[in-house]
A and B are shown apart, each in its own frame.
Chain A
Amino acid sequence: MSKQWVNNLQKLGPVIGLIIIVIILSILSPSFLAMDNIFNVLRQVSINALIAFGMTLVILTGGIDLSVGSILALGSAVTAKMLADGMDPILSVLLGLIAGGVMGAVNGLIVTKGKVAPFIATLATMTIFRGLTLVYTDGKPLTGLSNSFSFQLIGKGYFWYIPFPVIWMFIAFVILLFILKKTTIGRGIYAVGGNEEASILSGVKVNRIKVFVYTVTGILSAFAGIILTSRLNSADPNAGMSYELDAIAAVVIGGTSLSGGRGWIFGTFIGSLIIGVLNNGLNLLDVSPFFQQVVKGVVILIAVLLDRRDKK
């Protein structure tokens, strides 16, 4: 029983890390813990967190998705173009999400039916989707989209003090937590990542589960792009570049194993908070953005090294 307790404590490593970082930053910069700054951080975090949540599912199955940034760009471009053409905002958003889902499903089908390694498959689609975005937008940002109040609400709205993007993030978190913990699909995700062969031989529909996780990631990435578009009232075909790296970093810092089968979505949430808090805090402290990258890299390394030690 005591061993279980130690295990749980080790699982809380990322949380303890986050608390330490928050304490240090709040001592160094008094404005850090101000209410509006906290919500500011949470809003910045929400974009990466939404993508990282999807990435968690993919990584749990033993895969990886490098195309999330491109899906974000194409998804938001689709929504933006529809809005610019005067389509109903809700329908435009829906079409953007569908585009994201389709791109994700394509990833899933290449991985399952084509039997291509996820790294290679999504490396290729990363370029393809980015290229399609540039073709679709003619390489130019789409601006001055809509005066629609409901569309602007998505990225700019507040519920009491809480920005809407933060609410979207929590809704996605709760849904995915439920799927992972309580449903047959969630169990399948862990089983496939833990031992794919044994899962197939247990009659688990492995291909279906893989297509599912890539599709969900596609939808969430597109949604992250739509939030950005709503806030900026424009869609940039170059948006989301290298977002896959921040998402993977959040997953890894949160303690999910890159080899699959082991991890949790709460860790990913904490992981994206750590990255967001560091970005914000170092900005407040006027640390050069060049040096910020060094700090972020070191944090990722520390997280992985600690995880290594736990395993032994």
Chain B
Amino acid sequence: MEPIVRMTNISKSFSGNQVLKQVSFEIVPGEIHALMGENGAGKSTLMKILTGIYSRDEGDIQVNGRSVDYKDPKDAEKDGISVIHQELNIIPHLTVAENMFLGKEISISKTGILKTKIMRRETKKHLERLGVQLNPDKNAESLSVGQQQMVEIAKALAAETKVLIMDEPTAALTDREIETLFKVMNELKSQGVAIVYISHRMEEIFQMCDRITVLRDGSCAGTENIKDTDLDQIVRMMVGRALGERFPERRVEIGEERLRVEGLSNPGLFEDVHFSVKQGEVLGVAGLMGAGRSEIFETLFGARRKSSGRIFVDGKEVKIKNPYDAKKAGIGFVTEDRKSEGLVLELSVKKNLSLPNLKTLSNWGVISAKAEKAMADDFINKLRIKTHHADLQVKSLSGGNQQKVVIGKWVGINPKILILDEPTRGVDIGAKKEIYQIINELAAQGVAVIMISSELPEVLGMSDRIMVIHEGKVARILDKDEANQENIMQAATGGYRCVETMGQ
């Protein structure tokens, strides 16, 4: 079939730094084409060139066999190319219908007086085309992330989209929402829409995509049919070498109890949570989205107020009212959302790394520039953070390296206990393995590690024990040997308790 988009030999440099070298990429109608590569490989730059956000230095772009040169995304939209960004462009206080027609409102000739009835009807029609039941008058803020995404997709369809670019669409979705999304994608595919699918999740790519193009360091590492390739080949294309075991081996003597939590409660979120973690142990925390996983540990860390419960570190009870107390007790917390909770994007790598450690780096409140620099360089080295120098703004780093900075912040306090909330979300496969290695090294130093994760293979591969949360309660704690995807999911969906009571 004739490709609807054909990009040939695209090159692009930013201030002398070449980010794309002679990349070619094409999509045919009715295919789902995966675009993969490590963070910084050039995926988003390529897509931004296609949609006219950036201009290309060299190369040619043809859409429907016609050479094009878009000046901005609106031009691209006119040719039926739309993007669903990772950060959704939904305005919370507007209704579904108002969001759908934002900037493209239908009005009585050009008066600006809106035809609300028609827009509502159209909204309903487009959502139904996706098989989604949503009230057009509902406020967007009351929708789940998955539903908001559906509104965005419907918005793109209303604009007669023929090429849909989706950037990590499943990153914030629950399993059920992902299922709905995939159904919608297949529906679009059968209607002849071409989808560019950017994701780090291998499982999804093998499940959904027809072809895959891999970028490495700004060059095209190849395009393959999904059915002719396998995981190992894709990883090799991405990192230029075989990665070996996905989860590095850990040989750690598990020691004394480090952390014990008794009866921790926060009404409405979770109740009566008991668990403990030992020195050198990795406790995985699994559960469905909204089960209260993050909330339990945010409360433990003092970022939320607990109603009751006792916390013991190394056998001694500690009082934690705020994150400062938690830090003093030796607890570090790598938050889930690195941009909004983990980093001060305007500040440098060095200043982000030192932020929780200023007390130890200063005398009488005066920061020792030398000690700070030494600490930053040490962590950049140890955690293999890819940055030209420590004074670079942290926002210029790729996602995986930003994540390492967040981890580095907390490694700096020499934590006794380190909580990591979705430590590898939005991180490419090479950086993922490095983060696993960092976790293993910390465990080897006697740190008790708690890892919250939605990726079951990761939980299974990394944990010594797995705590499964269901509706704000600890449903089950499984040992590494007995845990598998089935019994975790069973416990996470409340199945375990049913089986137990039926057995009695």
Q: Chain A residues in contact with chain B, CB under 8 A?
A: 2-3, 182-185, 187-188, 190-191, 194-195, 197-205, 261-262
Contact = CB atoms under 8 A, between A and B. Distances in A.
Main secondary structure of the interface of B (DSSP, over half): mixed
Interface of B: 15, 301, 303, 322-324, 326-328, 333, 335, 340-347, 351, 354-356, 358-359, 362, 365-367, 369, 409
Given A203-B327, A261-B346, A187 B351 contact: yes
A60 to B, nearest CB: 11
A249 B366 CA distance: 30
Contact of A194 (B328, B345, B358): B345
B310 to A, nearest CB: 21
22 contacts: A3-B15, A182-B369, A184-B358, A184-B365, A190-B347, A190-B351, A194-B344, A194-B346, A195-B340, A198-B343, A198-B344, A199-B344, A201-B323, A201-B342, A202-B323, A202-B409, A203-B322, A203-B327, A203-B356, A204-B324, A204-B355, A262-B346
B358 A198 contact: no
A187 B358 contact: yes
Contacts of B346: 190, 194, 261-262
Closest 7 CB pairs of A and B: A194-B344, A203-B327, A184-B358, A203-B324, A195-B344, A202-B356, A194-B346
A216 B158 CA distance: 55
Contacts of B342: 198, 201
Given A183-B366, A187-B367, A203 B323 contact: yes
Most interface-central of A188, A200, A201 (chain B CB within 10 A): A201
A199 B323 CA distance: 10
B344 A205 contact: no
B367 A205 contact: no
B345 A195 contact: yes
Nearest to B325: A203
A190 B345 CA distance: 11
B295 to A, nearest CB: 14
Given A198-B343, A261-B344, 20 more contacts: A182-B369, A183-B365, A184-B358, A184-B359, A184-B362, A184-B366, A187-B355, A187-B358, A190-B347, A191-B351, A195-B340, A195-B345, A198-B344, A200-B303, A200-B322, A201-B323, A203-B322, A203-B326, A203-B327, A205-B324
A2 B17 CA distance: 12
Q: Is the interface of A mostly helix, strand, loop or mixed?
A: helix
Contacts of A205: 324
A2 B344 contact: no
B63 to A, nearest CB: 27
B182 to A, nearest CB: 33
Contact of B333 (A185, A187, A188, A201): A201
Contact of B335 (A2, A185, A201): A201
A186 to B, nearest CB: 8
Contacts of A203: 322-324, 326-328, 356
B392 to A, nearest CB: 9
A205 B15 CA distance: 39
Contacts of B362: 183-184
Given A2-B15, A187-B358, A200 B343 contact: no
Nearest to B298: A201
A204 B303 CA distance: 12
A204 B346 CA distance: 17
A202 B355 contact: yes
Contact of B366 (A182, A191, A202): A182
Nearest to A192: B344
A201 B346 CA distance: 17
